[in-house]
Amino acid sequence: MAAQIVPLPPFDCVVFGATGDLTLRKLMPALYYRCRDGQIPPQARIIAAARSDYTDEGYRAHIRETVRPHVGRDDWDEAVARGFLDRLRYVRLDASRPQGWETLVALLDEQPGRVRVFYMATSPDLYGPVCRNIRENGLASDAARVVLEKPIGYDLASARTINEQVGSIFAEAQIFRIDHYLGKETVQNLMALRFANSIFERLWNADVIDHVQITVAETVGVEGRAGYYDRSGALRDMVQNHLLQLLCLLAMESPISLEADAVRDEKLKVLRALKPITRQEIGHVGVRGQYVPGAVEGKAVPSYAADLGAQSRTETFVAIKAEVRSWRWSGVPFYLRTGKRLTEKVSEVVVQFRAVPFSLFPPEVADLQPNKLIIRLQPHEGIHLGMMTKDPGPGGLRLRPARLDISFEQAFKTRYPDSYERLLMDAVRGNPTLFMRRDEVEAAWGWVEPIIEAWAESAEPPKPYPAGSWGPTASIALIERDGRTWHEDYGGEEYG
């Protein structure tokens, strides 16, 4: 079943940071796929801007080589690739300086009325200066939009500075702050699950739900990004944005419509309702860890310090017990967990319902497991409902867990587009629903900042955990203290 494609009018997309990792690994493959699916018209131009010295042809050859490994073998088509590369132009430019913009200006002036998307695939401290230079060079037209990659800042103060700088040049409606998790199909599906089905929403509260777990586990280490990562750490890199956005979509009230601001208003309320975590509490409700040597997927891997080439107190793992102060969620913890070099790559939400109030079945007949709704975001996207059922056959009544499954791969037999495909096209269309509003970003920083500060001041370093494990044992203790356990049944055995 093919997804519906909305073709777009011709546009210009300028990518700053066009030789960087994000452009090569994510943006260009996404644009290739959108060309392949006929969404990007032949007259559209993708203008790559960076400091390196490339000709158009040289840059196209570079992109052909780097994009190809990121495109499925069956999805690569020579004619499509030629068409995609023909849309590319290269401009040599140091965008942080006001001078030297003539070539870009001349190129964009050829099509003055077009939608212009300026994509900042650069370090966040350049967002303000580059936007200023866009304006100084007369390019900030009404049809311009600017896309800011996460992280927006390093803390609340720097996020505010960036938002002020960019906001003094572009209106909020022109600013698209990316959290690529919002572009994932299964993340958008959370809205469908909750608000297009009556069965779950009626149960979606503290009367019925015991707790929620959000796990985003990765097997990769810091790859080529040690410099960035060491300044950031898992809390800033993953929790402040991706995990909190997931929490918002799970915990928010029904928006009054699908209008971007209606949805973002509800997410913002959740962020504002998060119970602040104080310095005194963090030791009880938060764990940070750092990987030491181990084996991931059967391969020996070194420690974080060896990957970095220096000792560091940056966390590569975080587990936090969060609470939303509202009638709906009172007493329902949201356990968040993310880390590098863990056992498996998996992003999953587990909504665990309360246990039955009284068991009719003696323990030798049934080890009753509470129901769990498992929403698998990646890989093997799907939804599973863990239930108790009768063990089939004669010879007495015995119960065992089983699960109701929807595997989206099998049900829809379609390719899951990368989130950047959707987000790039939404920015061109001017649809901000899947982007973060300024107040959301700042509210999220407001909640994580005291945790960052408490950890920065703590004499205790992050707890070591072997690469290839599920993180420090303290994270197991964190949830077990509450009489609960992390869901780690990724093979699906627990529920049949």
* Residues engaged in binding ligand BG6 (CB under 6 A): 218, 237, 347
- Min dist CB 394 to ligand BG6, Å, is 47
Q: Count Cβ atoms within 10 A of the Cβ of residue 459 and give its class: 0-12 exposed, 13-18 middle, 19 or more buried.
A: exposed
Paired tokens of 253: 């009230």
Q: Count Cβ atoms within 10 A of the Cβ of residue 439 and give its class: 0-12 exposed, 13-18 middle, 19 or more buried.
A: middle
Q: Which of 153, 386 has the CB closer to ligand BG6?
A: 153
Q: Which of 174, 347 has the CB closer to ligand BG6?
A: 347
- Given 242, 380, 384, 487, which residue is catalytic? 242
- Min dist CB 350 to ligand BG6, Å, is 17
Cα distances from 235 to residues 103, 244, 287, 303, 306, in angstroms, run 40, 10, 11, 19, 21
Per the listing, tokens 């769990």 go with: 372
- Min dist CB 237 to ligand BG6, Å, is 5
DSSP structural state of residue 34: H
* CA–CA gap between residue 436 and residue 433 (Å, rounded): 8
Q: Which of 296, 332 has the CB closer to ligand BG6?
A: 296
Q: Which of 37, 218 has the CB closer to ligand BG6?
A: 218
For the chain, how big is the Rg over CA atoms in Å?
24
What angle separates helix 185-195 from helix 244-251, to the nearest 10 degrees? Answer: 20
- Min dist CB 436 to ligand BG6, Å, is 13
- Min dist CB 325 to ligand BG6, Å, is 28
Q: Which of 22, 140 has the CB closer to ligand BG6?
A: 22
Q: Which of 179, 210 has the CB closer to ligand BG6?
A: 179
Q: Count Cβ atoms within 10 A of the Cβ of residue 440 and give its class: 0-12 exposed, 13-18 middle, 19 or more buried.
A: buried
Q: Is 85 helix (H, G, I), strand (E, B) or coil?
A: helix
The per-residue DSSP string of 126-167 comes to GHHHHHHHHHHTT---TTEEEEEPSP--SSHHHHHHHHHHHH
CB 287, CB 475: distance < 8 Å: yes
Respond yes or no: is residue 70 known to be catalytic: no
Residue nearest to ligand BG6 (CB): 237
Tell which residue, 439, 388, 370, 97, has the closest CA to residue 211. 370
* CA–CA gap between residue 260 and residue 191 (Å, rounded): 13
Q: Which of 285, 436 has the CB closer to ligand BG6?
A: 436
**What order do you get walking across the sheet with 175-177 strand by strand?**
88-92, 45-50, 11-16, 115-120, 144-148, 175-177
- Min dist CB 347 to ligand BG6, Å, is 6
- Min dist CB 289 to ligand BG6, Å, is 15
Which residues are marked as active site? 242
